[in-house]
Amino acid sequence: MSSEKIVVCGGGGFIGGHLVGDLLRQGHRDVRSVDAKPLSDWYQTFPSVENLQLDLRDLAACERALEGATTVYNLAADMGGMGFIENNRALCMLTVLINTHLLMAAKKHGAKQFFYASSACVYAADKQTDPNVTALKEEDAYPAMPEDGYGWEKLFSERMCRHFREDFGIATRAARYHNVYGPHGTWTGGREKAPAAICRKVIQAKLSGKHEIEIWGDGQQTRSFMYIDDCLLGTQRILKSDILEPINLGSSELVSINQLVDIVEGIAGVKLKRNYNLSAPKGVNGRNSDNTRIKQLLGWEPSTRLRDGLEKTYAWIHEQIVTGARDKSAPALAYA
């Protein structure tokens, strides 16, 4: 494999940790993983990798992180599930410092490739008012009306990537992730996303014998969820492609939150009484990924069935709970 240096920013987080592991399995040897958290709080660590604890909101830290870099994956962000991003808009917006300073450092050090992990939260809110949503196409991000805070930061950073490509020649690529889930991620503490939260709640209800579950909202809101393996494959294929504009990277298998609970109940072999918390954060009413463009340009789309991915996620979270493992999501800065 190429000896060129690959830097994974946010490598101590969920997606970043999986990406580092995947790069090593492919035979890459010159990999640097960077995260703000202490190494003991990283979701996955690999001794053969150069692991650096750096706060990438700081320009000097970004310049240190990207020394000698040829390829940069920016997966770093202060983020979480809907409960976090609706209540921490300023923190989410401050993530703009990470991508901005990383791009500046990439320019300074002559990095050739730069991948930015964007989000489906960039899409205009008025396109997501109906649970029976029409799948979101890339052009639906404009006129801009994204998720307040987190979505605005992602949309701005997409544009920053575009202009660094146009003005300075850095080969930037951006993918709009749609709800990535899987093992080795946040599963409790307030930053977890719906698949992990539902798995945890079902497991705890089954183990406790109290067969009830709280669902945020009325359960009718719809989403698609992409398994981590599809995310890794799509991310690397997009970076190596000629796709210049931000592109959807997500499953097109649409389910309601109630249906998500149905699936996890089926995996667990239980039926629970559902208590709906209508005052809790629930996000938009409907969101799904239109995969027309990625199929046209790559001849591929995420294809892991939700049931299959949830079985693996459920098994991993069950192990964490029964062994008393602590969740490693950081209280201050949890990179993706």
Q: Can you tell me the distance from the alpha carbon of 60 to that of 45, in angstroms, rounded to the nearest whole number?
A: 24
Contacts of 234 (CB under 8 A, 6+ apart): 175, 249, 294, 298, 300, 302
Share of the chain above pLDDT 70, in %: 96
Q: What residues act catalytically?
A: 150
Check if the beta carbon of residue 264 is closer than 8 Å to that of residue 314. yes
- Dig out the tokens for 239 from the structure: 């970076």
Task: Kindly give, in sequence order, each residue whose CB lies less than 8 Å from that of residue 220, ignoring residues fewer than 6 positions away.
Answer: 131, 256, 257, 258, 285
Q: What pairs with residue 71 in β-bridges?
A: 6, 113
Number of C-beta neighbours around residue 115 at 10 A:
23
The total of other beta-carbon atoms located within 10 Å of residue 174's CB is: 28
**What is the pTM assigned to this prediction?**
0.93
**CA pair distance 36, 13, nearest whole angstrom:** 10
Pairing between β-strand 31-35 and β-strand 5-9 as defined by DSSP bridges: parallel
| SS3 category, 98 | helix
Q: Is 227 exposed, middle or buried (0-12, 13-18, 19+ CB in 10 A)?
A: buried
Q: Please say whether the beta carbons of 78 and 88 come within 8 A.
A: yes
The one-digit pLDDT tens for each residue of the chain (336 residues) are 556 999 999 999 999 999 999 999 999 999 999 999 999 999 999 999 999 999 999 999 999 999 999 999 999 998 776 777 788 899 889 999 999 999 999 999 999 999 999 999 999 888 988 888 889 999 999 999 998 899 999 999 999 999 999 999 999 999 999 999 999 999 998 888 899 999 999 999 999 999 999 999 999 999 999 999 999 999 999 999 999 999 999 999 999 999 999 999 999 999 999 999 999 877 888 999 999 999 999 999 999 999 999 999 999 999 999 998 877 654 434 444
249 neighbors 314 (Cβ within 8 angstroms): no
The three-point CA angle 234-239-245 to 5° equals 95
> Looking at residue 331, what is its pLDDT?
41
Amino acid code (one letter) for 40:
S
Q: Are 145 and 121 in contact (CB under 8 A)?
A: no
| Count of other CB atoms within 10 angstroms of residue 319 | 12
Which strand (E) or helix (H) includes residue 275?
strand 273-277
Q: Could you give the CA distance from residue 52 to residue 224 in angstroms, rounded to a whole number?
A: 34
User: Could you identify the residue written with the tokens 């709906």?
Assistant: 276
